[in-house]
Amino acid sequence: MPGLTAPEPTSQGSFFQRYLLPGFALKGVIIGGGYATGRELAEYFLSQGAIGALWAMVLATVIWSLVAALTFAFAHATRSYDYRSFVSQLLGRGAIVFEICFILFSILLLAVFGAAAGEVGASLLGLPKLVGTLSLAILIAVIAGLGERAVETMFKYVSTFLYTVYAIFLVLALSRFGERIDQTLQAGGMAAGWPLSGLTYGAYNIVAAVMILPVLRHIGTRRNALVAGAIAGPMAMLPALAFLLAMIAFHPAILDATLPSDYILQRLGSPAFRFAFQIMVFGALLESGVGVIHALNERAVAGYLSRRPDAAVPVWFRAVLTIGVLAACMFVASWIGLVELIASGYRIMALVFLATFVVPILTLGAVRIFASRASDPVAGHA
């Protein structure tokens, strides 16, 4: 609702909280629903040729950095640390359109994460798929239910593990396929459509910036927000770059692989690393799932406080909400066919996010941010 004031930010946080945590969180939400399997990298980047893939990735990274920087600065300026108050400040009554699509998109993501976790459990340990799904749901419920500090700690340590695995992945790929990668890059290859691919990928994935608003409460100044957003783009894309370089060694054959990650892991010939990589994928799903649930939780908390501003949020509130949302999304949605129904409208939702978030933050949001006085952190508050 316009005029809703989100809770004040906490006292200015540490260097990690101000500059790195937003990037870790952005990467965490994007990777599980995006490039963890490599399929999106093949479709949006490598399909444009080896050189075209790199340029498309650069363009997508610039878009992520630009939109994230403006999003973080706008959230700081308007004290909007949940997605509902953010889009209300940005769009006014038009926020309802964004929120409907956002909730549908969240249902789709959580259902997909649950299914993917089931596949990881079956692949690694031969467990029934339900075990992997339940394990992910329980971990998400525990971390999100414990609140902000647990969420931030999870992003810190899971992200460190994830970056380490991708770094090892790149080293192994360069040592075993380096000559093939170099030959493919030397041969060139740049499709005319690389700008459109980079623009499309960058625009529809950056809605994740709205999901991670709760972790921005440590940002103390507009400059902090702009810098954190600018570096969040490269931080979120670095694992994808490592993955893409390995995939280039097998271009164009890898374009037809259902799971490019498994395609490469089989050729690396290391069962131990394949196991570690699958654990990392599970961690990426955990990060993404917690990011989505935390965004929904903070929206609900803001709504609760708007109705009862003098009351404290009950300890059980987040835990019960988390369990209810996860059960509805991971299990019920699949049983009634809602996932397929929502997925059929995925492209429409992407266009809605472009129209109700990306374009407005690049135009209306930017004007409000830079029209406000640097000395007044809440200038521009509607």
pLDDT digits (tens, 9 = 90+) for 30-42: 887 667 778 889 9
- Average pLDDT of the chain is 85
Task: Specify the pLDDT at position 370.
Answer: 85
- What's the pLDDT score for residue 338? 58
User: Which domains does the chain possess?
Assistant: 15-365 (1.20.1740.10)
Q: Is the pLDDT of residue 168 over 60?
A: yes
**Which structure tokens are listed for 347?**
């492209």
Which stretch of 142-156, 210-224, 354-368 has the lowest confidence by average pLDDT?
Answer: 142-156
Residue 369: is its pLDDT beyond 80? yes
Q: How many CB atoms lie within 10 A of CB 332?
A: 12
Tokens of 367: 């004007």
Residue 51 has pLDDT above 80, yes or no: yes
Calpha distance 336→317 (Å, rounded): 27
Q: What is the dihedral of CA 380, 367, 369, 151, to 10 degrees?
A: 100
Task: Note the pLDDT of residue 329.
Answer: 77
Write out pLDDT tens, residues 250-293. 999 999 887 888 899 989 988 999 999 999 999 999 999 999 88
| Token code pair at residue 235 | 């931080």
* pTM, 2 dp: 0.86
Which has the higher per-residue pLDDT, 272 or 347? 272
Please give the Cα distance from 95 to 364 (Å, whole number): 14
pLDDT greater at residue 2 or residue 42: 42
Q: Which H or E run includes 198?
A: helix 194-205
pLDDT the model gives residue 315: 64
| Rounded distance between C-alpha atoms, residue 134 and residue 72, angstroms | 33
Distances from the Cα of 169 to the Cαs of 128, 142, 181, 251, 280, in angstroms? 28, 30, 14, 18, 11
CA–CA distance, 151 with 288 (Å, rounded to integer):
11
Average of per-residue pLDDT across 295-302? 76
Count of H-run helices and E-run strands, the chain? 19, 0
* pLDDT per position as a tens digit, 192-225: 999 999 998 998 889 999 999 999 999 989 999 9
Tokens of 219: 């940002």
